[in-house]
Amino acid sequence: MPFAKLLLSVFLLLLLLQPSFAQNTIKIQVINANNHHVPVVGATIQTIGRRYFMLSNENGFFELDQMIINKNDSLKITCIGFQAITIFVSDLLNHPLIQLKETTTELGEVNVYANESFKTVIGNVDSKGGNTMNLSFGDKVALFIPNLGIQHGYVTKFRYFAKPNFGLEDHYTEPFLIQLYSVDSVHGNPDKSLLKEALLLKANKRNKWNEFDLSQYCIPIPSNGIFVSFSLLNQQEYNYQEKYIETYSVLEQKRVPIKRVVSPKISFSMNIYKNLHNWIYREKSRKWSEFPASLGTFMLGLEVQVYE
């Protein structure tokens, strides 16, 4: 009898605590300040000074867990095409809405010519994804793209082919970093970063090319070519997505659930392009090395606005 009373007491206590647990999560929406009816999809929300971050969903919403984030924390909200802002968590408790202002593209550093212009896609242009490659946390891959005779042109879009894996059907939606590099004239490896900081992105189309607008950065194509890179975050930054997934067990001859930190994978096609060269950067060795072209070509690319 005493044991039964103890169980009943614990059960009642859990019922009493349940509402307070529910209140620990705050739902916040990110919207376009110029049009309040339009949600901002894929905005990055990061705690300043810590490794915790979130991404807004297809309706512009994300959730703050007050068990992890406290009201004295500051959040940095960024998204391509919008001005970054910083806001205190305490300011969101009573007004759970964030407004981002659109960034006006300034072409002051780009010479615009009076004659005709056109857009062209450079890099890997395959219509279908081949295989995918596993990367360790913090690793990068880069694809060298030659100039192709472009004298006056700048980058308008980054292109990445997202291919889901068997047993990891939703891993392709996890965030990754991109960067553009100049070419080392001596060794031919990625050299100086062309973006002030790597951009955090995530794909939303499976088995298709995903495109991201980079026109606001006004990056000209260097005469000796350009590198476009894809990299994973470190394991601590992916831990917020740690979850149980299903995979096939050879020993048990069936699909079993396992706990795994989910991260995206880089896709590559079996087509080998003469002028495109793969490079890989390992976090452990902290250096770039050329990846065998015989294995295929990383499915990365750029769209360029060309002025004739």
251: CATH: 2.60.120
* pLDDT at position 263: 83
- Examine the domain organization and report whether 62 and 211 are in the same domain: no
* Residue pLDDT, tens place only, 229-258: 999 988 777 765 566 666 677 777 887 777
* pLDDT at position 303: 95
Q: What are phi and psi of 93, to 5 degrees?
A: -65, -40
Identify whether the C-beta of residue 183 lies closer than 8 Å to the C-beta of residue 129. no
- Secondary structure (3-state) at 34: coil
Low-confidence ranges of the chain (pLDDT < 50): 10-22, 106-108, 110, 112, 114
* pLDDT at position 77: 87
Supply the mean pLDDT for the chain: 81
* pLDDT at position 115: 60
234 domain-assigned? yes
* pLDDT at position 66: 72
Measured between alpha carbons, how far is 53 from 46 in angstroms, rounded to an integer? 4
Instruction: Please report, rounded to a whole number, the percentage of residues in the chain having pLDDT higher than 70.
Output: 81
13 domain-assigned? no
Identify whether the C-beta of residue 176 lies closer than 8 Å to the C-beta of residue 299. no
Q: Cα dist. 112→76, 108, 116, 233 in Å?
A: 34, 9, 10, 37
Helix (H) or strand (E) holding 5: helix 2-22
* pLDDT at position 90: 84
- Examine the domain organization and report whether 246 and 298 are in the same domain: yes
Tally of domains in the chain:
2
- Examine the domain organization and report whether 158 and 282 are in the same domain: yes
- Examine the domain organization and report whether 31 and 152 are in the same domain: no
18 domain-assigned? no
- Examine the domain organization and report whether 37 and 150 are in the same domain: no
Q: Cα dist. 211→58, 76, 257 in Å?
A: 16, 24, 33
Structural domain boundaries, residue 84: 25-100
- Examine the domain organization and report whether 176 and 141 are in the same domain: yes
* pLDDT at position 202: 84
Measured between alpha carbons, how far is 142 from 290 in angstroms, rounded to an integer? 9
- Examine the domain organization and report whether 69 and 128 are in the same domain: no
- Examine the domain organization and report whether 54 and 166 are in the same domain: no
191 domain-assigned? yes
Measured between alpha carbons, how far is 219 from 201 in angstroms, rounded to an integer? 18
* Residue pLDDT, tens place only, 48-96: 766 677 788 888 898 887 766 777 788 888 887 888 888 888 888 888 8
110 domain-assigned? no
